[in-house]
Amino acid sequence: MSTHFTNRQIAGLEKRARTALVNSLSGFKSLNLIGTLNTSGQTNLAIFNSVMHIGADPALIGFISRPDSVDRHTLENIKETGFYTVNHVHAEMFEQAHQTSARYAREQSEFDAVGLTAEYKNDFQAPFVQESRIQIGLTLREIIPVKINNTLLVVGEITDLYFPDEIWDADQGIFDFEKAGTIAGSSLDGYHATQLIRRLKYAKP
């Protein structure tokens, strides 16, 4: 037995159920904490499951920001300063990472509220998450409106990358994410450990 939803049935679901369902349909997603700082020196930290690869030359990462019809501290800070960090979430910190999704007041730092540590490196103008094992510093390059639902694709260029030596395979140019403890997310509240099945060769006809 199976279930069939039409777009009208999906649209007719209760709002939270609809949001959770549609958010889950793309499967497992990356989980990252985005760290920012405004021009007044106030830090902000928020979990995102929409961080994505944009390109390798230059090295670009994007994420989706929801409509800025209400306060979006992360987006506002990035617009103000042009700098932000993306920090992988691992199994020992996922509960604290999840808590950053709560609607804290602008003057309340999520770093302090959830017990994570803001770390500044090499004069980069946004805080990294000290507890994260893979830390990425980015400069804003473009904000692209998605007109159909008023979301924004925020594109940044990687300027700094920090990680433990033992997770890096220099020959292949890849990370061992299991060794790093990086976890994945599903829907809005699911947290999953991962296990590599196998690496395959570059596909050719």
CATH number listed for the domain at residues 34-49+56-192:
2.30.110.10
The reported pLDDT for the residue numbered 63 is 97
The reported pLDDT for the residue numbered 188 is 87
pLDDT digits (tens, 9 = 90+) for 106-146: 999 999 999 999 999 999 999 999 999 999 999 999 999 99
**Residue from 122, 2, 120, 99 nearest 47 by CA:** 99
pLDDT digits (tens, 9 = 90+) for 79-101: 999 999 999 999 999 999 999 99
Average pLDDT over residues 17-36: 95
Q: Which residue has the tokens 């999840």?
A: 98
Sequence letter at residue 76: E
pTM metric for this prediction: 0.94
pLDDT digits (tens, 9 = 90+) for 42-80: 999 999 999 999 999 999 999 999 876 656 899 999 999
Answer for the pair 172, 154: CB distance below 8 angstroms, yes or no: no
pLDDT digits (tens, 9 = 90+) for 6-22: 999 999 999 999 999 99
